Amino acid sequence: MRSERLFVWAFLTETAAPVVAGRLDIRETPAGPVGEFVYGQSYLARSDAIPLDPVSLPLNNSANPFTSLSGFPGVIIDACPDRWGIKVIDRLEGKKSYPDGYLLMNDPGRAGNLAFSLSANTTPQELESREFPLAELLRAAVAVETNQAVDPELLRALHPGTGGARPKCNVIDGNAVWIAKFPSVQDDPAISIPRLEHATMQLASAHCGIDAAQTRLEVVEGRDVCLVRRFDRSVGDGKILRKGFISARTVFYSDPAYAAVVTGSYGRFSRWGQRFGCTVADRRQLFRRMVFNCAVRNSDDHELNHGLIHTKGSEFRLSQAFDIVPTLTPHEIHRHALLIGDSAAGTVANLVSNANAFGIDRDDALAIIADIQDTIANRWRETFYEAGFGEEELRRIEHIFRPLPMDAQSG
């Protein structure tokens, strides 16, 4: 039967070079693939060692078994490219085995602080390229989407390790790393999705009390590009430093009961996030984020669009909000990617149905919902106008910001 071995490296706090953290062995069994991760003794002996995942992979000598996600720990899969990255890598080097072949590409644009090799003595070799202007990167992304020829150097510069399905890449600007999110050739030409994301993120952070990643808008050759500042990267003394990241999916798989349902929810994320270090304030912030996502009809709020960021020691906290983009197709009731309460319906009744999972009582939940809805009603036009939307565009999207239905029947 097939077996694989992968060495896992980690970029630790304030270091720009990775160290060997441990080894992952995958073996095929009659019941399916089983993975086993063990930390290296040299890593455990380090005073600055941090757990890759404090719940599923605590710092100890134990061999940790994994049967879900093809035997790979969730935090390792979090470092794997998603649909856009896989498409770029396939163009660059041909199809790889998933996920190990894509993990070994070691693109610096991937989430978190991990890298991979086939030997403990072989430092991961990262994809490198020279810097390109945004205009060239945008043209390269269009070429990838339309199956045109692209210079391999530009393909590497598109940072295929970055997650998600839409075209994007990483750029360094000043003391920060940004994800440049491009328009897609499949977008509705009537509405700029990059501008829509920027305006919605501005509405969230500037007016609705959402701790969201910083964004700014660039117009490149007449097309919008939304730049999102990465919260798992910083730049200091000419070096890029990385922080550990754990997706909500990884949090879900740390819960043994999840394997029976495989249904993610905001409430489950809130409850299990405490085991990783999330505070009362984090849980309240997650509730506000859930309400805001419902109020702006961001129904693509799946388990990879939420996560935890490493702060210190074995502690991970709720990361900033990202990828908040309204769904343009109107529905009476929007169904969300994660369960909101008792169901996935974006209604007021459903939002309050599981408020206790966030440490919030019903009255407090209703007050937060009212606050966010009132703020959106009063500020969305001004915010979107300042972001560059014209009157006709505002009319096209005003249905997004109508009040939430009280319950499924009222929808």
pLDDT (tens digit per residue) in 355-390 = 999 999 999 999 999 999 999 999 999 999 999 999
> On the CB side of 210, how many CA atoms lie within 13 Å of its CA?
31
The predicted-structure confidence for 195-237, as pLDDT tens digits, reads as follows 999 999 999 999 999 999 999 999 999 999 999 999 999 988 8
Q: Which domain holds residue 154?
A: 134-229
Alpha helices, H only, 171-279: 193-207, 248-253, 258-261, 266-273
Q: Considering its fold, how many domains does the chain have in total?
A: 3
**For residue 408, pLDDT beyond 50:** yes
Has residue 408 been placed in a domain?
A: no
Same domain membership, residue 104 and residue 59: yes
C-alpha to C-alpha distances, 168 to 81, 226, 238, 403, nearest whole angstrom: 12, 9, 23, 32
Has residue 234 been placed in a domain?
A: no
Please report, for the domain that includes residue 179, its CATH number: 3.30.200.120
Could you tell me the pLDDT band of residue 174, with boundaries at 50, 70 and 90? confident
**For residue 410, pLDDT beyond 60:** no
Same domain membership, residue 106 and residue 144: no
The pLDDT score that the predictor gives to residue 361 is 97
Same domain membership, residue 288 and residue 392: yes
Has residue 274 been placed in a domain?
A: yes
Domain boundary among 66, 91, 117: 117
Mean pLDDT over each residue of the chain, to the nearest integer = 95
**For residue 147, pLDDT beyond 50:** yes
Domain boundary among 176, 200, 229: 229
Same domain membership, residue 152 and residue 211: yes
Has residue 186 been placed in a domain?
A: yes
Same domain membership, residue 210 and residue 158: yes
Out of 27-31, 141-145, 222-226, 376-380, which region has the weakest mean confidence (pLDDT)?
Answer: 27-31
Same domain membership, residue 384 and residue 255: yes
Has residue 261 been placed in a domain?
A: yes
